[in-house]
Amino acid sequence: MKHPKIITLLLFVGLFVPLTLGAQSDKDTKAVKAVVKQYEDALNSQSLDDIVAVFDIDCVVLPDDAPVVIGHRGVREHYEDLTDPSTSIEITLEVQELILSDKIAYVWSLNYGKISFKGGEEISIDSKSLMVLIMSMDGWKVHRYMFNGNTAPD
């Protein structure tokens, strides 16, 4: 055997690198799911600051039957009505699929629950959404977000 050190190094790299990549991927998968949960919790607690915090500064939100929302200012304006104290939200986001790449993640979820307004009016939530998250200096953040209802409009 002419080069035992090189063979040992190749074996080490061949065994160790996939293990570390798997560990990193597992860590990132958990972190991305945590952002989805953070968003769900922020909606349910009606914390406007917490809602804005899950989005990156250059985010774009494509809401159902509403204009495009751009950046933190747009997110703050879009979600302001939902954080009114006379409104209550109960929403669950069930992750159906998560695809993770080096610095980008795609998550689609089914969402259900209700929004209750002052005076007793309630809106049922039955929707689906697609989040595109990116790895930023502050961790995983929602970069693009699109959602729409599962039922046809009246």
CATH, residue 103: 3.10.450.50
Q: In 10 A of CB 50, how many CB atoms?
A: 15
pLDDT in tens, 83-104: 888 899 999 999 999 999 989 9
Determine the Cα–Cα distance for residues 84 and 62; give it in Å rounded to an integer: 22
Domain of residue 60, residue span: 4-149
In a domain, 40, yes or no: yes
Q: What does the pLDDT read at residue 24?
A: 55
Q: How many residues are present in the chain?
A: 154
Residue 119, token pair as written in the block: 């005076």
In a domain, 48, yes or no: yes
In a domain, 30, yes or no: yes
Q: What does the pLDDT read at residue 81?
A: 85
| pTM metric for this prediction | 0.81
In a domain, 97, yes or no: yes
**Number of domains making up the chain:** 1
**CA geometry: angle 101, 104, 105, nearest 5 deg:** 80
In a domain, 154, yes or no: no
